C-alpha cells in the first residue's frame, strides 16, 4: 500500500472516548502503513496538547485544538503525506471542519461503550472525573457526539487489537 504518484495521501482520523483504543489502534495502523514505505506522520492528542499552548478542555478550547490539528493535517496531506490522527474530538462540528479542510478524510470511529472505557481507565481519568477532580470530561459531564457516517467503525469490545487493526487496514484497501 505504498504511496505512488497516482495514489492520494489521506487523513485517517481516529475518534472515540478516552480509553476506547484510539491511540493503540492508530499506533499499530501507523506502524503497518509506515512499514510499507508510505510517507506518513502521526498526530496524537496527548502529544500535541503538550506542544500547543493554552489547550484547555472547554468546548471552545477543544474546538480550537481540533481546528489547529485539522489545519496541520490538511497541510501534510496536501504535500503527499498520509496522516494518522488520534483525538477524542467529541464534537461533530469540529470533525466536519477537519473533513472539509482535507482532500481525502477517512473517519475511524472507535466505538467503545462508556462502561468499557471506564473499566479500562488506564490513566485513572474516569475515577478523577467521577470524583470531581476533572471538569468537562468527555462522556461524564461533557458530551461525545458520535459520528453518524464514519467511513470505518471498529468496536474494540468485541475484537482483539490485531482484529481491529485488520478491520481498518482492509477497509482502507476498499476505500482506496
Residue 2, domain member (yes or no): no
Give the C-alpha separation, 56 to 61, whole Å.
5
Q: Which domain holds residue 31?
A: 11-175
**Is 6 a domain residue?**
no
pLDDT in tens, the chain (176 residues): 444 433 589 999 999 999 999 999 999 999 999 998 889 999 987 666 667 666 667 788 888 888 989 999 999 999 999 999 999 999 999 999 999 999 999 999 999 999 999 999 888 999 999 999 988 899 998 999 999 999 999 999 989 999 999 999 999 998 86
| Domain CATH for 125 | 3.40.50.300
Number of domains in the chain: 1
89 is catalytic: yes
Cell numbers representing residue 7 in the block: 495514489
Among 37, 26, 39, 36, CA closest to 79: 39
1 located within any domain: no
Active-site hit among 20, 89, 111, 164: 89
Amino acid at each position: 500500500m505504498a504511496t505512488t504518484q497516482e495514489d492520494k495521501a489521506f487523513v485517517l482520523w481516529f475518534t472515540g472516548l478516552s480509553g476506547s483504543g484510539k491511540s493503540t489502534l492508530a499506533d499499530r495502523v501507523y506502524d503497518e502503513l509506515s512499514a510499507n514505505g508510505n510517507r506518513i506522520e502521526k498526530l496524537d492528542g496527548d502529544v500535541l496538547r503538550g506542544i500547543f499552548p493554552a489547550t484547555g478542555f472547554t468546548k471552545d478550547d477543544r474546538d480550537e485544538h481540533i481546528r489547529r490539528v485539522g489545519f496541520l493535517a490538511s497541510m501534510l496531506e496536501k504535500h503527499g503525506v498520509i496522516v494518522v490522527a488520534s483525538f477524542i474530538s467529541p464534537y461533530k462540528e469540529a470533525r466536519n471542519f477537519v473533513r472539509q479542510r482535507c482532500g481525502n478524510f477517512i473517519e475511524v470511529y472507535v466505538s467503545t461503550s462508556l462502561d468499557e472505557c471506564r473499566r479500562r481507565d488506564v490513566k485513572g481519568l474516569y475515577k478523577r472525573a467521577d470524583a470531581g477532580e476533572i471538569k468537562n470530561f468527555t462522556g461524564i459531564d461533557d458530551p461525545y457526539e458520535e459520528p453518524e457516517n464514519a467511513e470505518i467503525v471498529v468496536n474494540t469490545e468485541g475484537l482483539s487489537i490485531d482484529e481491529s487493526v485488520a478491520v481498518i487496514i482492509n477497509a482502507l484497501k476498499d476505500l482506496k
